[in-house]
C-alpha cells in the first residue's frame, strides 16, 4: 500500500506529514532538524516537539540524524510503539536511503559488513571496531555516476540500525558522503551545504492489522 502525502498541516510549523492514522505518523523530516530534543535549550526544537500539540500521543520509534532528511516514523500511543519497535527488532521494516558519495564506486552493488562502536574520545563519532564493535551490515546499489563531479549516487539498505551506520560504512570504504561534516575530509564536506543523505523509502507492517505499508520520498538533491 502506497500513501500519498498528507502535506503541510495547520499547526505543524511547516512539517510535511506523509501519513497519519490512529496508530502511526510518517513525517518527511527536513535536514537540520532534530528528531527528538537534544541537550540544551538550543536543541529543544525537533520533530517530536512540533507534533505534540496536535498529536499528544506521538512517540518515537526510530531516529534520523539531524543532518539526514527523509521519512521518519512515529507511533501513536505506547501499544503501537511496542508493536512497531518489535517489527524493527524482527527486521520486518525495510528502509532505503539515497546518498551521493565522493569518488566513483567500483561495481554495481555490494555489501559493507563492518562492526561499529562509539569513538568515546571523540563523541558523538562512531568508528569501525573489529574487536568490540556491534555487527553492522549495509547493502548498496549504484543509481548513477557523475564523472565530472567525481561522485556516485547510491541506494543504501541498512540491515542493522547502528548510530551513524551509513556514514561510517561509506567512509570506511573510501567514499564518504558529500557534505558530511563529521566523517568526510573538510574539503569534501564543504562541497555541499548539507549532508547528501535522504531516507527515501520505508516499508513496514501496520501495527493494527499487519498490512504492509510503503512510503516514498524523493531526495531533494
Q: What is the pLDDT along the chain (221 residues), one digit of tens a residue?
A: 444 456 765 555 579 999 999 999 999 999 999 999 988 887 889 999 999 999 999 999 999 999 999 999 999 999 999 999 999 999 999 999 999 999 999 999 999 999 999 999 998 999 999 999 999 999 999 999 999 999 999 999 999 999 999 999 999 999 999 999 999 999 999 999 999 999 999 999 999 999 999 999 999 99
The superfamily (CATH) of domain 7-92+202-216 is: Pseudouridine synthase (3.30.2350.10)
Q: What is the pLDDT of residue 6?
A: 66
Does the annotation count 216 as an active-site position? no
Q: What is the pLDDT of residue 174?
A: 97
Say what the pTM is.
0.93
Map the chain to HEC letters: CECCCCEECCCCCCCEEEEECCCEEEEEECCCCECCCCCCHHHCCEHHHHHCCCCCCEEECCCCCCCCEEEEEEEECHHHHHHHHHHHHCCCCEEEEEEEEECCCCCCEEEEECCEEECHHHCCCEEECCCCCECCEEEEEEEEEECCCCEEEEEEEECCCCCCHHHHHHHHCCCCECCCCCCCCHHHHCCCCCCCEEEEEEEEECCCCCCEEEEECCCCC
Q: For the chain, what's the residue count?
A: 221
Q: Going by C-beta distance under 8 Å and a sequence separation of 6 or more, which residues neighbour residue 190?
A: none
Residue 182 and residue 168 in contact, taking contact as beta carbons nearer than 8 Å: no
Q: Which of 21, 54, 57, 65 is catalytic?
A: 65
Is CATH 3.30.2350.10 what the domain over 96-197 is classified as, yes or no?
yes
Residue 157 and residue 139 in contact, taking contact as beta carbons nearer than 8 Å: yes
The separation between the first and the last C-alpha atoms of the chain, rounded to the nearest angstrom, is 26
| Buried-exposed string 166-180: b where 16+ CB fall within 10 A, e elsewhere | bbbbbbebebbbbbb
Domains 7-92+202-216 and 96-197 share a fold: yes
**CB neighbours of residue 187 within 10 Å:** 8
Domain boundaries, the chain: 7-92+202-216, 96-197
Amino acid at each position: 500500500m502506497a500513501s500519498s502525502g498528507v502535506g503541510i498541516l495547520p499547526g505543524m510549523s511547516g512539517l510535511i506529514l506523509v501519513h497519519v492514522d490512529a496508530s502511526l505518523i510518517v513525517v518527511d523530516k527536513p535536514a537540520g532538524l532534530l528528531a527528538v530534543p537534544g541537550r540544551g535549550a538550543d536543541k529543544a526544537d525537533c520533530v517530536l516537539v512540533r507534533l505534540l500539540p496536535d498529536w499528544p500521543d506521538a512517540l518515537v520509534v526510530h531516529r534520523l540524524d539531524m543532518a539526514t532528511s527523509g521519512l521518519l516514523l512515529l507511533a501513536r500511543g505506547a501499544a503501537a510503539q511496542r508493536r512497531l519497535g518489535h517489527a524493527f527488532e524482527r527486521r520486518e521494516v525495510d528502509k532505503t536511503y539515497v546518498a551521493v558519495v565522493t569518488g566513483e564506486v567500483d561495481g554495481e552493488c555490494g555489501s559493507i559488513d563492518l562492526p561499529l562502536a562509539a569513538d568515546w574520545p571523540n563523541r558523538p563519532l562512531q568508528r569501525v571496531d573489529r574487536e568490540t564493535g556491534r555487527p553492522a551490515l549495509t547493502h548498496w546499489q549504484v543509481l548513477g555516476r557523475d564523472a565530472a563531479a567525481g561522485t556516485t549516487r547510491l541506494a543504501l539498505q541498512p540491515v542493522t540500525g547502528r548510530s551513524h551506520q551509513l556514514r561510517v560504512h561509506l567512509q570506511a570504504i573510501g567514499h564518504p558522503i558529500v557534505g558530511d561534516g563529521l566523517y568526510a575530509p573538510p574539503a569534501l564536506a564543504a562541497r555541499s551545504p548539507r549532508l547528501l543523505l535522504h531516507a527515501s523509502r520505508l516499508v513496514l507492517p501496520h501495527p493494527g492489522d499487519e498490512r504492509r505499508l510503503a512510503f516514498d520520498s524523493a531526495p531533494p538533491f
